[in-house]
Amino acid sequence: MSLLEKYRKEVVPEMKKIFGYKNYLQTPKIKKVVINIGIGKNVKEPNIIEIAENTLTRISGQKPIKTKAKQSISSFKTRKGMIIGLAVTIRGKRMYDFLEKLIDITLPRVRDFRGLSPKSLDGKGNLSIGFKEYIAFPEIKLEEIERSYGLEVSIATTAKNNREGLELFKLLGFPFKNAD
């Protein structure tokens, strides 16, 4: 059963029962997934942008956009307009495929993983997961790594608060520690 089928057949009825929603449209759902790589401090290295872009394309299946510095900051050695990061926004079927891979394959492969912290939710039910190394993703082969850097996966939902968001993520199968 795919994650989208699981959401429709199991999660929606369970959320309606827990929170007393009268309509299935009231139940929170996942809107989008954003994957970010910040390369600000490594920007002086040659071809780091191409390496990071290739990595993000393989992980997400989409070409990333380059994020530029909005202002110059001398202590960070960045100039206005300099490329300091890459981002990909995933929606629809590709988003559910990515989340399924994230839950079933990537998170269990993370070194010393003991579960996601409920504190990773932002107050409106959105989840942010930081990876120190991107080698946990199955598309990345260990022998092809030239430079290791972190990335962030942000999952935006239509939940109104952390309680709804946390319940949605738990029912979808996200591994949280200190389950209440």
Residues of the chain with pLDDT below 70 are 40-43, 142-144, 146-147, 178-180
Residue among 52, 156, 151, 37 at smallest CA distance from 95: 156
pLDDT of residue 156: 95
pLDDT of residue 28: 93
pLDDT of residue 127: 92
DSSP codes joined into one string, 69-134: -SS-BGGGTB-TT-EEEEEEEE-HHHHHHHHHHIIIIIHHHSTT---B-GGGB-SSS-EEEEES-G
On whether residue 152 sits in a domain, the answer given is yes
Residue 9 CA to chain centroid, in angstroms? Answer: 24
On whether residue 118 sits in a domain, the answer given is yes
pLDDT of residue 151: 87
On whether residue 57 sits in a domain, the answer given is yes
| Strand partners of residue 130 | 152
The CA-based dihedral angle spanning residues 80, 81, 85, 88, taken in that order and rounded to the nearest 10 degrees: 140
Tell me how many degrees the CA angle 82-41-68 measures, rounded to the nearest 5. Answer: 25
pLDDT digits (tens, 9 = 90+) for 35-85: 998 886 666 777 778 888 888 898 888 999 988 888 877 777 778 878 888
- How many distinct structural domains can be found in the chain? 1
Look up the CATH number of the domain holding residue 125: 3.30.1440.10
On whether residue 180 sits in a domain, the answer given is no
On whether residue 179 sits in a domain, the answer given is no
pLDDT of residue 80: 83
- Cα separation, 179 vs 30, in Å, equals 21
| Strand partners of residue 153 | 35, 129
On whether residue 125 sits in a domain, the answer given is yes
On whether residue 177 sits in a domain, the answer given is no
On whether residue 14 sits in a domain, the answer given is yes
Domain range for residue 131?
A: 3-172
The model carries a pTM of 0.86
